[in-house]
Amino acid sequence: MRRKQFIQQIVRLEPSSTTHHECRHCGYTVENNANECPQCGSHEIAAYDLE
């Protein structure tokens, strides 16, 4: 049952952006408007444009 729900969530997802934001310190994926990593507290957030 869990697998079916997971697949349904993926199918419904639409790409909201072609930019990926992640913490340079720990690699955690952060929201595009975050100034601080919620995982480690670092302020070094990188933005990568994906094609």
Q: What is the pLDDT of residues 11-37, one digit of tens each?
A: 565 555 588 999 999 999 999 889 999
| Inter-CA distances, 16 with 20, 39, 46, Å | 10, 22, 17
**Torsion 5-14-46-31 (CA) sign:** negative
The H-or-E segment that residue 14 falls in is none
The most distant pair of C-alpha atoms in the chain lies apart, rounded to whole Å, by 39
- Name the band, by pLDDT with cuts 50, 70 and 90, for residue 51: confident
DSSP 29: B
| Whole-number Å distance between alpha carbons of 22 and 15 | 16
